[in-house]
Structure 1
Amino acid sequence: MQQIGKYQMIVMIIMFELGSTTLFELGIKAKQDSWLAILFGALIGFALLWVFVRIQNRAPSLCFAGLLRLHLGRLLGTVVGVLYAVYFAYESMRNIRDFSELTVMTIMQQTPQWIIIVIVAGLALYALSKGALVFFRIVELLFPVVLISYTLLLLFLIITKLPNIHHLLPILEDGIAPVAKAAFPDIISFPFGQIVVFLMFWHHISEKNNTGKTVAMGYMIVSVFLILMNAITMSVLGPELSAVSALPLLEVVQLIRLANIIERLDVVVTLLLYIGLYVKMTLFFMASVLMISSLFKLKNGRVGLVMIILITLMSFTERNNTEHIWIGLVIAVKVFTVFQIQIPLLLLIVGALRGLGKKNGGSAEGEVAIQK
């Protein structure tokens, strides 16, 4: 079995949560308190993370497909597993579409969108053919590039004195209600609830006894970073401009002018977004394929080929970027709480009632359950 190290898992969680998140100014309904909305969402998301880890720890050697059958039985577990595969595939499609829209809006305005989608889909299929461990290692290699780039961007913003703290004031002008409304379910669902996809990969962690500490560390690091980036973007653009901006972070970076030498850093941001979108899209795609392969004992290659064709076709169902964003940030975030909150809570309760994971339960019981 492929073994993923603790550091690799932490890095993947950080890169995954970054993904397409920095494309948007999340929590904008709370205006200058948007960073508080992300903080609130991150805290609720941390509780969800505990639920996911608790479910995994009941049978550390099982992937999510096996955990569903362990908790719900073979038939119902299979049905729910297929629904999760569809959910993962749809999330992958959304990131492919984000990738193509970003490309068309920034550096390749004359390129047909379908060409970009097909190329990115092909890259995801290639990553699947190499396996999850190789993909985790590639992301590990990309992480220093992303870390250094974001650090330099933040440093340049501070040096140029673009952030204006007054744009973040007054804090809680209209009370806590707008913050809570902006956070639930939207921010909890995107990006924090999406970490449910890691239930397909946590059984590969080399030190399974430390799964909770490992994922919590990655989650806390990226949560703090997302809050910081949101606050800085808001402090530069202000609530009014942030609300109407298509790519807020890109507009912030375009304002950087340092000694008439360092400028046009929007290219760097675009490349960082490409990396994040590709990582997120590929991980969702892999999870979808692995779910179907595990449930029906099929080869990853064949399932992956069929799945990537379906994902590519789904990418063309939304007529334009406005519709794509509206569906994602208004409709999907509410529907997907079924997979991110309701079903995991059901599994938590069912497992507690059945005493799963206690003493002689755990992975051994899980292995028996999925073989029946």
Structure 2
Amino acid sequence: MTKIKIDGFQLFCMMFIFILGSTLLLDIGKAARQDAWIVPLLATIFGCLLYLVYISLYKKYPNMPLTGYIIKIWGKYVGSAISFCYIIYFVYIASRVLRDFEELLISSSYYVTSIITLGICMTFVLIYSIHLGIEAFARVTCLCFVVILLTLFILNVLYIVGGYIKVENLQPVLANGWGNIWKELVPLGITVPFGELITFTMILPYLNK
């Protein structure tokens, strides 16, 4: 497999933006009320452990994407079926996320625009990015990463200065026990978005180091 020029920082930027994605729209951990912050904290820990599995598979098959070594592990027929399900699953995920952002844009800035028009425009952007290739996509992701990081930093500073962050709202901690936290954590808190990082098993073989 030809090594294309994607370095570790570009991979990190892609993963960072991927994890943000539409996760902010899902309001994960809401049922845990004041303990909602514990859900993403635990999900991050479990997500890192899950990603170690992806990394270990990559180290064992460094020149093959997931759809390649799945066939090698499970055999031609079962492996091909799993690979096909993987592709269909992420086509579904991509379609759902596209729909989420369409509805977000319709309800905020583009309320007089057809949702189909927005979908077509966003799809053409995706087609163009695929046409340019993964290297160009990775470079643009680094630029977006900087913009997002600065935006989040400024917003958080303004929240602190404005007095909107009240630590007392987190109390009492674990007032309702671990029940609601585990319900929010398993499976949604782990699978979205950390479980979906499995998609990067298709990119890892293309790293330059």
Q: Does the TM-score normalized on the shorter chain lie above 0.5?
A: yes
Q: Deviations over 1:211-231 (max 9, x none)?
A: xxxxxxxxxxxxxxxxxxxxx
Letter in 1 for 2:199: V
1:189 aligns with 2:191: yes
**TM, length-normalised to structure 2:** 0.95
The question of whether the paired residues in 2 share the 8 Å contact of 1:27 and 1:183 is answered with yes
Q: State the shift of 1:187 in Å.
A: 0.6
Q: 2:77 aligned to 72, 75, 78, which one?
A: 75
Match in the other structure for 1:326: none
1:198 aligns with 2:200: yes
Partner-residue secondary structure (3-state), 1:147? helix
Measure the CA separation in 1 of the matches of 2:77 and 2:5: 29
Where do 4+ consecutive residues of structure 1 move more than 2 Å? none
Match in the other structure for 2:58: 56
Count of residue correspondences: 207
Letter in 1 for 2:76: R
Measure the CA separation in 1 of the matches of 2:83 and 2:130: 19
Measure the CA separation in 1 of the matches of 2:77 and 2:58: 20
Measure the CA separation in 1 of the matches of 2:38 and 2:19: 18
Letter in 2 for 1:202: L
1:17 aligns with 2:15: no
Q: Unaligned regions of 5+ residues in structure 2, if any?
A: none
Letter in 1 for 2:92: Y
Partner-residue secondary structure (3-state), 1:175? coil
Letter in 2 for 1:58: K
Describe how 1:178-327 pairs up with structure 2 within 5 A. Answer: 178-207=180-209
Q: State the shift of 1:5 in Å.
A: 0.3
1:88 aligns with 2:76: no
Partner-residue secondary structure (3-state), 1:26? coil
Match in the other structure for 1:299: none
Identity of aligned residues (%): 27
Partner-residue secondary structure (3-state), 1:8? helix
More displaced stretch, 117-126 vs 19-28: 19-28
The question of whether the paired residues in 2 share the 8 Å contact of 1:68 and 1:81 is answered with yes
Match in the other structure for 1:109: 111
The question of whether the paired residues in 2 share the 8 Å contact of 1:68 and 1:77 is answered with yes
**TM, length-normalised to structure 1:** 0.54
The question of whether the paired residues in 2 share the 8 Å contact of 1:56 and 1:67 is answered with no
Match in the other structure for 1:128: 130
Q: Deviations over 1:258-281 (max 9, x none)?
A: xxxxxxxxxxxxxxxxxxxxxxxx
Aligned residues: CA RMSD: 1.1
Q: State the shift of 1:25 in Å.
A: 2.3
The question of whether the paired residues in 2 share the 8 Å contact of 1:40 and 1:180 is answered with no
1:99 aligns with 2:101: yes
Q: Deviations over 1:4-56 (max 9, x none)?
A: 10110111111110111122321111111011011122221111111111111
Letter in 1 for 2:120: V
Measure the CA separation in 1 of the matches of 2:188 and 2:34: 17
Partner-residue secondary structure (3-state), 2:175? coil
Q: Unaligned regions of 5+ residues in structure 1, if any?
A: 208-372
Q: State the shift of 1:150 in Å.
A: 0.7
Partner-residue secondary structure (3-state), 1:162? coil
Partner-residue secondary structure (3-state), 2:36? helix
Q: Deviations over 1:266-305 (max 9, x none)?
A: xxxxxxxxxxxxxxxxxxxxxxxxxxxxxxxxxxxxxxxx
Match in the other structure for 1:66: 68
Match in the other structure for 1:155: 157
Q: State the shift of 1:174 in Å.
A: 1.3
Q: State the shift of 1:91 in Å.
A: 0.7
Measure the CA separation in 2 of the matches of 1:58 and 1:192: 21
Measure the CA separation in 1 of the matches of 2:84 and 2:189: 25
Q: Deviations over 1:52-92 (max 9, x none)?
A: 11111111111111111111112221111111000010110
Partner-residue secondary structure (3-state), 2:37? helix
The question of whether the paired residues in 2 share the 8 Å contact of 1:44 and 1:188 is answered with yes
